[in-house]
Structure 1
């Protein structure tokens, strides 16, 4: 069917989900652009919607529906289709189902609509995912692999297909969609294949062609925008799991796309920042956006006009009397227009600074503070009366690490901080220029140390400080995501450049010296260490981002060190460990090798001695997450065969309303669950019980029960009643009938596919020969 774009009657069903019920302006921008090319827009929101956001939506369309957060986008679209009914839907030339996961447009939508309307099609999309034949990573795709398909963030369907029995039956009989795996496997991945095989014609507007990449809108974003004039891009481009991008690219995609959008289109990039800074983890944003500023320390920029309008200061906390000249060397890098504040804990130190710093042209003020709270209180208490008068501030402190030997290790940490913050006047000029040119940059910090005893910092950035940092975040009202598995982009040396207004939330706490622990202080796990890590989350909460900053010398050293370290690890893995491969392969095989070597995991749960632990995940409005999970344990006499063991999960009411359970009987393949009985006690004392017949899993039903060949066994139980749960008791009869190594080999051999008949045969054969 060819459409006359000038007379087109088009309905757009637009799906939104936001855990806070907020509709960001990027959505309104998209809807306003769509309104010019549609007869009607129906917005469906899963979950909740704030009154302010409803008002924003109603300015675009009166048709706004809020429904329970079930079924993801699939059932949101079905809700719109059901609302209009087939008699009315078939009167439209085109019905478009699209969602909030795409941003734009960066070009006039008229280009796309005019081009696609002229093509004789039954359905079409903007972008496609290319065939992936190595298997089904979701475990839900009917054909066992990912076929070519239109991505479901935008699918347009025309009248002939709207009228067809096949299309109407498809939606009338749409199965329940429990999670993302179902949404992809049961709808998105198969929709195009299913209807193309029924004789309906399809195409996409922008594509890089076969062989270039399976997922070009994420892995060739700039090319799609620049070469194919794709009008949209994925918000996920700027915060996806970095392993997704480094597998297929060098990591350039997000920053190249962002630069193109910023410099070559009219799209306001603040729409991007407003959304991702509110909702996404800063570690993901930093990696994808390559938030590293490498600045010249030999050639500066003229900032004389900036300094006429903006106020700049340096705050130095001085403690070690023998480091006055050392500090002066770096303080001299500040422009003469900058104010210098030095906090000290005694009159003697005050005199030392006044004498040593008398050579400076700057306005220098020495502040006498209490010796409590160290450098943290020096900043938060010592400067709180004036810090908000400044636009850009550098905070440093003299650093002498006495607990490490040799002392050159600690001295190297100090060098890394100072040389990446205040190496020269020219460098400081470039820092100020960087703030001016990047209005969302709120905190510029040296990278964390990784030499000597500090090597463990990489991967252990939280140390003992996660819980106390989360506690502080709650006290401050911080809502941006903090994840124990994702590192804070924090100044772990407590030295950094910042915009005071980006830390306003922290200074507004009106700290006092008594708020901080008295000396002697522990080297980890205190409020001081929590504040050290909270800086970056405060910045993000205020709508700014944290980033790393380097001098060119600092970057040279960092690149050498990281390359040396990774190469050393790879040599050990390649020659003494599981062997070579790409990053993901090496990571997976190394984890597996360590798991076998340590003998810390049995085929059942998490084994330590004679204790087995099994994890239960709880799905609420924010979905499944590690935070919404609990471990329970039971003692065992032998690992190979367990009968009717019981796991108890309590104190669950703090999770809120629960919709679904996921129980993991272990982490590796080879487990057979012969029977399971789950008793759920709700807050209102209502009790529900579930058995194996109620479970959806990634296992295979064979003779003895539910067999898990694949690693990470999972059983899902959809609750008949959603509500607040007090406790859960799990009684399970399970055993290790197939060895972990054998199960892994089978799984690897079939490439993660799930040909059930094949697995059943393999399992029975293994059992027969006693393998």
Structure 2
């Protein structure tokens, strides 16, 4: 271990110290002899204990001045004279996940370079500006401050102490960026100190005239950057679409899973604590087109079952055929409302009368279960042809139980991904149908930031339900009476237990999904293009002649509604 000291700044609104924090600090301990953790603001008791268990010093302070004020507080707490005894000082924070690759690899590479201070990435000079106290500030070329390393030559200088002594307390985030991050590099370079960065600055300045951490796949997979910014999965969502055709957050997660399974688990733990699955689905691919060709069999070593709730007196023919086709491949458990229901001859392993406790106990005796039923949840949707409802019901079943090999691949994916808790059927993008599905769910109190379990059928990893009997009982009771909100309870259970949900569909249906999406996107582009065109013409030509603000708004509303009607017609 080298003679280094690290100052790690931690801030979280609720004061919770999640696993990605402790993982990063443990990574820093491999390259730093001493670590001081600065807590900006509050921290809960469990979080404080987690930090103490790492055998690091903890300093808690009021959350003012952002990271730079915390860096300064840490430096003054250690003392300038004591800092001179170290070869390097690391300033970093909890704004990223890492190390994906050991920090030692980066430090070994940087040891070969002659410089007085360095970082991971250098932001290029841009023509973009940020508002600081109502004034424009143009971004200078600078080393990004989430990871800075100062060497002995700079630590022993008067300029180092002078910089931190004169540093003012920043009152806004834009001030911290402009006068903190941007000016730090400029200040020390003006004093004659040399700088360097781990990631090739020339390469990225040619690729993008903006924040290089946006190009996450290039940085992490190609250039082995040891960290990925947390906001890559949230705040960057609009920016990523501007700088890449398809954002690569899903590829990044898969890469992290392959090279560092423990960090992968930490990333999901943090993401599921901060964001709804619907928000994450905007960037992370939560859709699986699953092959029906045999791939792996690890999951089949576990206990797996198909639970079928028979609501009607007679079992529908499609379920008879389905059960016969997969009998002896999965355990078949029938759930019915009474013991003497009429039935055609079918193969099944067990029949149980509807009782929440019995069903829960039986489900928990398996590792993975599929839950289907013969109820028509789409009956809540009015103004839709029966044939369309029937098609969607059939597709729901196909998306979960296409054939034996498809089932094997679903089980295998649930088995191999520790954070994947549930598969639900993918909704075919049919605009006219989907809008009525969504409106029906919303009118029944369904939260619009939650994934919708259409028709309440799913595959689930049963350990997800281990601590949630009461919630699962509420799901069953609501489900039995045909309440669409029953699916909402399951979504909450899965996310509260820090698992994520994916949509699934067989490969054969992929062409239909893509074709429908293409039609919808084309029509939406038409809608956006022509509405903006009419809006431009209106303000340029007609607006001067219409003095009433109310009349202007009504006119634009009429244009927008007419275009929406055309858009809906095109998407059917």
TM-score by length of 2: 0.82
Shift of the 396–127 alpha-carbon distance from structure 1 to 2, 3 Å rule, reads same
CA offset at residue 494 of structure 1? 1.0
- 8 Å contact kept, 1:122–1:160: yes
1:156 has 2:149 as partner: yes
Match of 2:563 in 1: none
Match of 1:394 in 2: 370
Shift of the 193–570 alpha-carbon distance from structure 1 to 2, 3 Å rule, reads same
Shift of the 509–169 alpha-carbon distance from structure 1 to 2, 3 Å rule, reads same
Match of 2:230 in 1: 235
1:411 partner SS: helix
Match of 2:570 in 1: none
1:200 has 2:193 as partner: yes
Q: Aligned equivalents of 2:62 and 2:437: distance in 1? A: 41
Unaligned runs of 5+ in 1: 1-5, 370-377, 470-483, 522-527, 581-587, 610-771
Q: Aligned equivalents of 1:143 and 1:407: distance in 2? A: 59
- 8 Å contact kept, 2:494–2:500: yes
Match of 1:578 in 2: 532
- 8 Å contact kept, 1:392–1:500: yes
Aligned residues: 542
Shift of the 326–337 alpha-carbon distance from structure 1 to 2, 3 Å rule, reads closer
1:577 partner SS: helix
1:328-368 alpha-carbon deviations (Å, 9 max, x no partner): 344445352422233334567x213xx2xx243x4142x44
What does 1:79-118 align with in structure 2 at a 5 Å threshold? 79-118=73-112
Match of 2:129 in 1: 135
CA offset at residue 165 of structure 1? 5.4
Match of 1:463 in 2: 442
Alignment partner for residue 342 of structure 2, among 331, 343, 351? 351
Alignment partner for residue 311 of structure 1, among 300, 303, 316? 303
Unaligned runs of 5+ in 2: 555-572
1:578 partner SS: helix
CA offset at residue 462 of structure 1? 6.5
CA offset at residue 100 of structure 1? 1.4
Q: Aligned equivalents of 1:530 and 1:544: distance in 2? A: 20
Q: Aligned equivalents of 2:479 and 2:322: distance in 1? A: 30
Match of 1:147 in 2: 140
2:129 partner SS: coil
Q: Aligned equivalents of 1:259 and 1:579: distance in 2? A: 42
More strand by share: 1
Shift of the 165–39 alpha-carbon distance from structure 1 to 2, 3 Å rule, reads same
Shift of the 332–148 alpha-carbon distance from structure 1 to 2, 3 Å rule, reads farther
1:342 has 2:321 as partner: no
CA offset at residue 271 of structure 1? 2.6
Match of 2:18 in 1: 24
CA offset at residue 381 of structure 1? 6.0
Q: For structure 1, which segment, 162-171 or 57-66, has the greater mean C-alpha deviation from structure 2 after superposition? A: 162-171
1:682-728 alpha-carbon deviations (Å, 9 max, x no partner): xxxxxxxxxxxxxxxxxxxxxxxxxxxxxxxxxxxxxxxxxxxxxxx
Q: Aligned equivalents of 1:432 and 1:498: distance in 2? A: 9
Match of 1:493 in 2: 455
Q: Aligned equivalents of 1:313 and 1:252: distance in 2? A: 36
Match of 1:174 in 2: 167
CA offset at residue 559 of structure 1? 1.4
CA offset at residue 204 of structure 1? 0.7
What does 1:236-635 align with in structure 2 at a 5 Å threshold? 236-264=231-259, 268-297=263-292, 299-301=293-295, 303=297, 306-307=299-300, 309-320=301-312, 324-345=316-337, 350-352=341-343, 355=344, 358-360=345-347, 362-365=348-351, 367-369=352-354, 383-400=359-376, 401-402=378-379, 403-448=382-427, 450-451=429-430, 453-456=432-435, 463-464=442-443, 487-509=449-471, 511=473, 516=478, 528-574=483-529, 576-579=530-533
1:430-457 alpha-carbon deviations (Å, 9 max, x no partner): 2112212223211101234542543326
CA offset at residue 512 of structure 1? 6.8
2:243 partner SS: coil
Q: For structure 1, which segment, 417-426 or 242-251, has the greater mean C-alpha deviation from structure 2 after superposition? A: 242-251
Q: Superposition RMSD on alpha carbons, in Å? A: 3.8
CA offset at residue 79 of structure 1? 1.6
- 8 Å contact kept, 2:465–2:472: no
More helix by share: 2
Shift of the 382–449 alpha-carbon distance from structure 1 to 2, 3 Å rule, reads farther
Q: Aligned equivalents of 2:346 and 2:421: distance in 1? A: 31
Shift of the 389–535 alpha-carbon distance from structure 1 to 2, 3 Å rule, reads same
What does 1:681-700 align with in structure 2 at a 5 Å threshold? none
Q: Aligned equivalents of 1:368 and 1:559: distance in 2? A: 41
2:205 partner SS: coil
- 8 Å contact kept, 2:257–2:264: yes
What does 1:654-693 align with in structure 2 at a 5 Å threshold? none
Shift of the 316–155 alpha-carbon distance from structure 1 to 2, 3 Å rule, reads same
- 8 Å contact kept, 1:102–1:235: yes
- 8 Å contact kept, 2:145–2:181: yes
2:283 partner SS: helix
Q: Aligned equivalents of 1:411 and 1:429: distance in 2? A: 26
Shift of the 338–36 alpha-carbon distance from structure 1 to 2, 3 Å rule, reads closer
Alignment partner for residue 28 of structure 2, among 6, 15, 34? 34
- 8 Å contact kept, 2:475–2:486: no
CA offset at residue 90 of structure 1? 4.2
CA offset at residue 57 of structure 1? 2.4
CA offset at residue 558 of structure 1? 1.6
Q: Aligned equivalents of 1:408 and 1:337: distance in 2? A: 31
Q: Aligned equivalents of 2:349 and 2:290: distance in 1? A: 26
CA offset at residue 563 of structure 1? 1.3
Shift of the 279–449 alpha-carbon distance from structure 1 to 2, 3 Å rule, reads same
Higher-RCO chain (CA-CA 8 Å, sequence separation at least 6):
2
